């Protein structure tokens, strides 16, 4: 049998073969349907490799598509029908996205935001002359950065206040407030501000930290670089979350687990939680809109708020700036400041973040009760000053790396954006109450 040393990617690039990629793909599909047995995934990937060695001579390299075909066949023949279905569906989703890119279809994200909301934000941007980067630059050059900050923050505060009014209107029904949105959209500060509004009306938000419901790290999906995927909702113990929510709403006391991120283990510390008649359970989570997280609770008892960086500004080449690129930069700055992460790690991990958003967050946007815009025009010049050298370096490093195509494309796109913006080094005009402080530091709110 011939040893498999290289594979051909869809782009035609030749990269080293790595069986861990097959194992991780199988395990990820298994986790999506509730499986947690990594050893089975390893056995199945060994079977796939054995078939590859028997099928392809030394002078012929298999393609990614051919390997995936064999994985599907192996899963089905081995009796793993549910895992096979999840694998096939995920593969189909990726194929549709690739086809859209090739055909030049719009990749603006997210597609499910109501047009009226986007129109309101664009109308505001035009009124304040920040609807493209050239107008933004003109205002910065005139010394109006502080004015842009003030105008943007007023718009954001009004948005949060509107959401609070909707909760107050349903105060006799709502028992759970879900604050959802993709990574680095501004959920934490938005939650704190919403809590302040509700407190004035005699309502208390009591947080149930769903991060404490993660399964142990050893059963999380990971890639060949050892990067664990915390972005999938299946990383959480969803049945236990539902059980605890039901009991809390019924007035019972529950013992809330504690997830130790240092050890990667869930611990029982004996901490209890109980809510009163004026308490509203808060779920501040990436996956708050994911139906299975709160499926045991009637919809009328839930208020669902979604926040996203809905910037309506055209960048270079007259194209709209992508929401996900704003959030990528925010997370880079925050991770570097709070966790001592190299921003490179954030970039290389971002494809997991984005993939999970597209599968588990964005499809549920239209189920929300209200959408808050978490974008601000003034964050761009701040990020330009802090991140531009990094992106310039990454574009050079990743240009010919077939294993980092996603990182290269993102880096190149953001570099082209940042180099067209006037940098602002001094952030003293941004008040501590701004939600951008959640990322750059100096927030007036407790964020942990």
pTM of the model: 0.76
* Average of per-residue pLDDT across 441-445: 94
Distance CA 213, CA 207 (A): 13
* Range scoring the smallest mean pLDDT among 218-227, 241-250, 337-346: 218-227
pLDDT of residue 231: 66
Tell me the per-residue pLDDT of 23-46, one tens digit each, with 9 for 90 and over: 988 988 888 888 888 889 999 999
Q: What per-residue confidence (pLDDT) applies to 197?
A: 96
Neighbours of 413 (CB within 10 A): 20
* Fold (CATH) for 115-440: Rossmann fold (3.40.50)
Q: At 303, is the pLDDT very low, low, confident or very high (cuts 50, 70, 90)?
A: very high
Ranges of CATH 3.40.50.300 domains, the chain: 115-440
pLDDT of 1 over the 80 cut: no
Which of the pair, 124 or 339, is modelled with greater confidence?
Answer: 124
What rounded mean pLDDT belongs to the chain?
A: 89
State percent of the chain over pLDDT 90: 61
pLDDT at 297 over 50: yes
Residues 85-100 have a mean pLDDT of 73
28-32, 84-88, 337-341, 431-435 — most confident range: 431-435
* pLDDT score, position 101: 59
Listed range (221-225, 343-347, 401-405) with the worst mean pLDDT: 221-225
């Amino acid at each position: 049998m011939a040893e498999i040393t290289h594979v051909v990617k869809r782009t035609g690039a030749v990269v080293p073969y790595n069986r861990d990629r097959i194992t991780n793909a199988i395990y990820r599909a298994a986790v999506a349907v509730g499986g947690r047995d990594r050893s089975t995934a390893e056995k199945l990937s060994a079977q796939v490799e054995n078939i590859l060695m028997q099928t392809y001579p030394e002078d012929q390299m298999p393609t990614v598509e051919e390997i995936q075909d064999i994985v599907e066949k192996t899963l089905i023949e081995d009796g793993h029908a549910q895992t096979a279905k999840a694998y096939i569906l995920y593969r189909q989703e990726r194929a549709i996205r690739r086809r859209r890119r090739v055909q030049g279809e719009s990749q603006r994200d997210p597609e499910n935001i109501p047009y009226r909301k986007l129109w309101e934000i664009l109308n505001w941007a035009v009124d304040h002359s920040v609807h493209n980067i050239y107008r933004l630059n003109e205002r910065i050059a005139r010394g109006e950065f502080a004015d842009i900050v003030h105008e943007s923050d007023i718009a954001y505060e009004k948005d949060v206040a509107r959401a609070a009014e909707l909760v107050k209107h349903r105060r006799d029904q709502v028992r759970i407030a879900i604050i959802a949105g993709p990574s680095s959209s501004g959920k934490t500060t938005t939650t704190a501000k919403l809590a302040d509004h509700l407190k004035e009306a005699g309502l208390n938000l009591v947080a149930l930290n769903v991060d404490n419901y993660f399964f142990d790290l050893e059963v999380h999906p990971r890639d060949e670089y050892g990067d664990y995927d915390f972005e999938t909702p299946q990383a959480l113990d969803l049945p236990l979350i539902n059980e605890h929510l039901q009991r809390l709403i019924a007035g019972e006391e529950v013992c809330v687990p504690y997830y130790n991120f240092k050890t990667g283990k869930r611990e029982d510390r004996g901490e209890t939680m109980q809510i009163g008649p004026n308490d509203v359970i808060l779920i501040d989570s990436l996956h708050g809109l994911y139906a299975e997280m709160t499926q045991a609770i009637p919809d009328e008892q839930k208020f669902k708020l979604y926040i996203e960086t809905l910037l309506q500004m055209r960048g270079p080449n007259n194209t709209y700036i992508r929401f996900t690129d704003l959030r990528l930069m925010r997370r880079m700055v925050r991770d570097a400041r709070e966790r001592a992460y190299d921003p490179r790690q954030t970039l290389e991990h971002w494809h997991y973040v984005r993939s999970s958003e597209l599968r588990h967050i964005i499809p549920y946007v239209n189920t929300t009760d209200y959408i808050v815009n978490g974008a601000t025009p003034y964050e761009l010049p701040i990020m330009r000053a802090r991140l531009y050298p990094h992106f310039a370096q990454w574009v050079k490093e990743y240009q010919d790396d077939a294993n980092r195509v996603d990182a290269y494309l993102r880096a190149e796109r953001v570099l082209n954006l940042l180099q067209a913006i006037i940098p602002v080094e001094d952030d003293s005009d941004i008040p501590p109450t701004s939600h951008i402080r959640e990322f750059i530091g100096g927030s007036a709110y407790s964020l942990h």
